[in-house]
Amino acid sequence: MRSTLNSNMHRAKYLLFVFFLIHYCSFGQILDDSTKQVYGPKSTEYILEADVFKNKKIKYNPDTLMNQFFKTDPLMRSGWMFQDLGNNGTASKPILYQPRENIYTETGFMAYDLYSPKVRDFKYFNTKSPYTNMAYVQGFKGFSNLNFTHAQNINKQLNFTLDINRINSSKQFSTTRSEDKLVDHWNYSLSSNFVSKNEKYTFLGVFYHLNHLQHEQGGINAADSVLRNVKFIDSDYNLSYQARMANVTSSERWNNLHIYHQYKLANGFQAFHVFDMERKKHFYNDSQFGVNYANGFYPDSLVSNDTLRQNIRYRAFGNKFGFKGRFKGFDYQAYVLHRIYDLHSNHGDLFRKKLTNEVFAGAQAAYYLNDSTKYLLAEAEFSQKAYFKINGELHYDNLIIGLQSGRFPVGLIYNDFYSLSGLEWSNNFDAPANLHLSGAYDLKFYQFNVKPSIKYSVLKNHLYFDQDGLPQINKAGINLTDLALEIGYSGKVFSFVNSAFLNIKINDGKNVIRRPVFMNNTTIMFKILYAKVLKIQTGLDIYYKSAYKADAYMPLTQQFHLQDKYEVWGNVVVDPFVAFNIKRVRLALKFGNVTQGLGQNGYYTTPYYLGMGRSFYLKIEWPLFD
């Protein structure tokens, strides 16, 4: 009774907050109509490192549009193109194949990458006045996301930016108290950029920290009939189901530094240097190992420990030196990269990678035709260990064609792993290789947009984890074809976007790549202007994936692995939403999975892991420009 009362009080507080916010912003708009705003989105700019590296003088302004604002988390913003554990912030993996971006050695731990900072995404600001952006999302089933950004110029040449991001989500079953925490994530970055008065020297630098904690539950402990047929799922997850694992946590911590700077030696000729320091720690703690082992969650083991602890530490340092400029109409870059890395664990030499050197050489050339939208790009990178990546792109009007071919190092966890649980291996796998072709044509006429695309991939020496959670290699070639069609319409009052995906496999004899054959995402929206002040967008966000035997998840190794018993999805998820734009404040309300209880009470995103049930979300963003 008390829990229900507290929940209703929380809802009342949030609804009162929304009411007063709309009232305040609307009243403020009336008072300030005659006031000229000196500072705003147009006076605040930021740049991206990729553009600086390519000598593109592109400046961006903070996003104040309503487009896609109602998407409440990274998974939604991706179009639900990742498989997760059914709740915000949980371990995830891409549903479709994604080509490797680099040819240096990585750990293979990527379960939390969806929520981790990316160097390519850091914004380096230039503000004429202090800029602050505050964004908050609250879900009524224990999800919250707070983002705070503050950027300020010290002078015309120097800027500092602080960005903080916090994500929390709560357990949906097997809870012991109100809002029992499932995920506790936060990351922050401190970045700076500097341009000399003569514009010959440019500096971009960022230090970023990540701390991600996930309480591992192993999914629901339910009868096989419930796991096989969603029609038998009970609507009250917490009362009906207990977790398969108890008192288990996984966590990941980063302390990384990235620096890029360049100096113009002559017109069209520059020297550049990139420094990277990566310090990543992975922790696994099972304080009830004996019980969880007895319940069959671990493979056979002779260990009788009551607790299980796994600590893995990875360090890497990279230095890249090069030149870039323009020669006879070509933009070019050439560089060498030296990188060192090592890996340690709490098991000493049983699971350790000693200090290892890697040396790379790379070059890139781009030829621009009539303007910056028409160009041909070619790049290549090679290492002393015969790894390589060759990439080519052609952009011509609305046509985009891409090619990538490469041979890549094996992730460290595929070759070596040791755990007191009994899960251990030592391999010497051949390097995986791929050929990736893609094409897209973006056709626009009047208010319509049609974009067909195709991706074709050939994978050799594909690495994966089998039904027992052990790494394997498929040396035979695997052919993947992904067809996509996006159709959109944007009118004054009504708009919609529909993205359909057809995924085809050929020559996958061992059936090691599992993905839905068909996926579809639809957004239907109506746009309303109320009292010449309040901009409103309301509509439906609709997601569908055909049923497929998705990979299961192994918390100890943070890896998804094959399973042959259970299917996930196979149903439609509908999210109604309404979004407001009052002056510069954006506000959205969303009712997630409103269709729960209509035909079925739930669905699975991963075997044993139920997707989020019906839940209400509030999202607000308030930028300040002075």
Q: What is the DSSP string of 417-469?
A: E--TTS--EE--PPPPEEEEEEEEE-EEETTEEEEEEEEEEEEESEEEE-TTS
pLDDT at residue number 18 = 46
pLDDT at residue number 510 = 86
Query: Which residue in 6, 19, 286 sits closest to 142, CA to CA?
Result: 6
**Domain assignment of residue 79, given as a range:** 37-624
Copy the structure tokens of residue 277: 């320091």
Copy the structure tokens of residue 240: 């009906």
Q: What's the per-residue H, E or C state across 367-393?
A: EECCCCCCEEEEEEEEECCCCEEEEEE
**In which residue are the tokens 């917490």 written?**
238
Whether residue 271 lies inside any domain: the answer is yes
CATH code, 571: 2.40.170.20
Q: How many helices (H) and strands (E) does the chain have?
A: 7, 37
**In which residue are the tokens 């809802």 written?**
11
pLDDT at residue number 6 = 46
pLDDT averages per 10-residue partition of the chain, 626 residues: 43 45 42 57 94 91 89 93 96 94 94 95 95 95 95 96 97 86 97 96 98 96 93 90 93 97 90 98 93 76 76 97 89 96 94 96 90 86 96 94 97 94 92 97 94 97 94 94 96 95 89 96 94 90 96 95 95 95 91 88 95 94 91
Whether residue 28 lies inside any domain: the answer is no
Question: How many angstroms separate the first and last alpha carbons of the chain?
Answer: 47
Copy the structure tokens of residue 544: 């569908």
Q: pTM value?
A: 0.91
Hey, what's the torsion of the CAs at 347, 349, 355, 358, to 10 degrees? -90
Whether residue 343 lies inside any domain: the answer is yes
CB distance 513 to 97 below 8 Å: yes
Whether residue 22 lies inside any domain: the answer is no
**In which residue are the tokens 């609507």 written?**
235
Whether residue 16 lies inside any domain: the answer is no
Which residues pair with residue 285 across a beta bridge? 249, 309
Contacts of 14 by beta carbon, 8 Å cutoff, 6+ apart: 138, 140, 618
pLDDT at residue number 584 = 86
pLDDT at residue number 17 = 47
Return phi, psi of residue 3, to 5°: -60, -40
Whether residue 315 lies inside any domain: the answer is yes
| Alpha-carbon distances of 489 from 37, 76, 80, 559, rounded to whole Å | 33, 21, 21, 40
Copy the structure tokens of residue 414: 């595929």
| Gap between the Cα atoms of 545 and 123, Å rounded | 34
Return phi, psi of residue 415, to 5°: -90, -35
| Gap between the Cα atoms of 602 and 68, Å rounded | 26
pLDDT at residue number 33 = 42
| Side chain identity, residue 221 | N
Whether residue 470 lies inside any domain: the answer is yes
**In which residue are the tokens 């190092």 written?**
409
Q: How many CB atoms within 10 Å of residue 73? A: 20
Question: How many domains in the chain?
Answer: 1
